[in-house]
Structure 1
Amino acid sequence: MTDLWTPITLAGATLPHRLAMAPMTRSRAKPDGTPGDLAADYYAQRASLGLLITEGTQPSDDGQGYLATPGIYTDAHVAGWRKVADAVHDGGGRLFIQLMHVGRRSHPDNTPHHRQPVAPSAIAAGEDMFTMTGMQPVPVPRALTTAEVRQTIADFAHAAKRAVEAGADGVEIHGANGYLVHQFLATNSNQRTDEYGGAMENRARFAVEVARAVSEAIGPERTGIRLSPGVPTGGIAEGESNDDLYRYLAAELGKMKLAYLHVLHIRSDAFLEDIRRAFGGTLVLNRPGRPRDQIGADVAAGRADIEALGSMALANPDLAQRLKTGAPLNEPKRALFYAGSGAEGYTDYPAMDAA
């Protein structure tokens, strides 16, 4: 039986186990989107997790939504991420940079160009967002033209090339959590009448074309994608109504032989198994709120190949060792998940030897 401690090959490298670090926004980048000075330390401390999927990283000015998130499309961004990649590799880990275009989940005050957010349709997310002047409602976005949709696909491919140039082992396309790719999938956020809206295949087209463009730019073995079927985040309301779309999308992505499909899973295990069969390749699973005694259960049951952990990995730089030995875990400092510019709540979590 496969367990957590069975090695697995991903992107041409052998990982020592089936654990991964899930992507987590930390909001500690420099004003120009370059990773902060402690980013290399933060990721390197967690290199023993094997596969590290970074915080959401915008592929363009339009892609930024939150304050102090990093980018990967300028020379300065590449130089900053190269320090991170080198540090992770020195620690024996592999780094996938998550490409996150937030779409309508943005505010002009938080972006370099201070323009109106863009989205599939001019429908607001109906949420508030933190800015330098406090919480503000996100505005109604501007609907992308068909030509702009295609340019956005090209932006993803360009960012993927820059990530590899920075030394990353691959990229993960963020198609989940109510951000741009997810906005194209859901009917309550996508009311387009061109080839990117309407029928199920049309609403999935943007995700498919982004994945194809990225895989053609850097290779399918370096390309992953994250989906969150039914997750009601950022104004998305799909429930079970999009189940057939996700089955279709997983099959289309599977044809590309991508490195992995990463599923944020809140639905039934039967539906997850449908997605797994349709994709046919490596499946990374993030099950929110997974208790410690259930870590490894999905790999053991054959529902997933890798299990991605979030706040546990944030708070425990040596999480794999702690889980394998049964050692106690550090508690996450939740008030500092998205705040702070120094080490507190970021790089000051002790490893077992220092605890």
Structure 2
Amino acid sequence: MKTERPRVNASLAAPDRSLGTQAQRPTPPADAPETAPIHQTISPEQAASAAPRPARKLSPAEFNTAMVHFYRGEVSRANTWRNRLDTTTNWAVLTTGATLSFAFSSPTNPHFVILINTVLVCFFLFMEARRYRYYEIWSSRVRVLETGYFTQVLAPELPADDAWVSHLVEDLRAPHFTISEWEAVGRRLRRNYLWIFVLLAACWNLKVYVHPVPAYDFNAFIDRATIGVVPGAVVFMVGVVINAGLLIFALATMRLQQATGEVLTERDFHPIQTVTDWTRAASDRRQRTATVRRAKKARERTRTPRVGSTTGEWKRPDSHRTQTPDDIHRTQYPQRKSLTEETLSQRSEVRD
């Protein structure tokens, strides 16, 4: 016996051929995000790696360890660039000493070697200013850690300030120079190179005046300053303009205070002081006064009033003799019972 199969409506089973087109899948918009193929197989490892990982919070011990190692690394970086600064200064000092020794060793030696050395020292100045900018990057980070992190560790009673964290994070994400080129040049010029330029200018004038014989008037001095086809007056005026420009530049950049890695703060730094403040006697006197003050405060902290005495006499406390551990806990927590009392009360409750 045959079983008749159900008839299916042709209009539903086949696409509408009267329109002359076939049914197509709708086209996604152009700005739709790309998706993985439907039949693509993804391993569990790939799925775990593709999933966003939750932020892991460091424990206090891990955070302190990270900060200590980070501080050591930044100190090492700052020390490396500080040594490079000393190297450039040593080059300038050595070349200046060698040039002056050669210029004054014989009356026939030319005086323009001192001018050449002045140009060389200018190159050293710009090299050291560039290195100083890199040094300030690491030095500023060290200073931020000292004032923000270690200060709170050593003095927890001070009000907490978390601004140093955001400042350090932004500096680590986008490192940048903390000092401008002009400020760096001005600082190195005032610290070291201004005195080298003054020495070179004085030695050049002395060389021109003394050798081969002392000049009898200013006109003879100008004639000796001649270098080839360049008149002596031009050489002298160029030297005056350059040295005056260096002095003006050193004074004009004193108010630039972008760098934060200096040891002394702006309110404690006084570049112009009397000579008596820099003498050894004044320094020793201030140190003795500070030492006596600290010792007096330490003695006051360790003294406690004697029981039953009104004479103002003081006695050093002996906590291991006068107080028991229970008394110490009772002093810190007045409402708390001693360990023995708590144990006895618990035992009595259990018996009841």
TM-score grouping bracket, smaller chain normalisation: under 0.3
Structure in which a larger fraction of residues adopt helix: 2
Larger Rg computed on CA atoms: 2
Q: Give TM-score scaled by structure 1 length.
A: 0.26
Q: What TM-score, normalized to structure 2?
A: 0.26
Point out the structure with the larger strand share.
1
